[in-house]
Amino acid sequence: KGSRDMQDGTHRHGSRASRHVDAAENGQPEGESVPLHQYRIAVQRGDDLRELVEEQQAELSRLHQQLSFQSKVLLTLRNSTERRSVDVQRFREQGEALRTMERRTGESCNVGGTAGGHMA
């Protein structure tokens, strides 16, 4: 129990449950009381299904917590990315301004033949 494959768990419980239904439905004329062994089978089936539901609820809860955590991480990444793109835009504008200033400086006083500079 515990960390078994959900598909396998569902299949195993499902087939056992359907055998119980078959046993409970076979050859009972209307109005007769259900034999004790069939009653026990039905109770066992109920217990099996309850156990399966509890396992699935625990799994669902775990997945919900995981999803909640991942959405917080994504939100943080998105905010960080937006801040970085603003920074990148600012750096681009500053770079353009520097290159423009450098070109003007180079044109006005062509020192040592490095007009325009070489900022890549």
* In the chain, where the domains are located: 6-24+34-107
Q: Cβ of 41: how many Cβ atoms within 10 Å?
A: 20
> Does pTM top 0.85 for this prediction?
no
Amino acid at 96: E
With beta carbons less than 8 A apart as the criterion, state whether 59 and 79 touch: no
* Mean predicted confidence (pLDDT) in 109-113: 60
Instruction: Determine the Cα–Cα distance for residues 74 and 117; give it in Å rounded to an integer.
Output: 42
> Which pLDDT band holds residue 117 (cuts at 50, 70, 90)?
low
* Mean predicted confidence (pLDDT) in 85-98: 94
> Which pLDDT band holds residue 54 (cuts at 50, 70, 90)?
very high
Q: What single-letter DSSP state applies at residue 15?
A: H
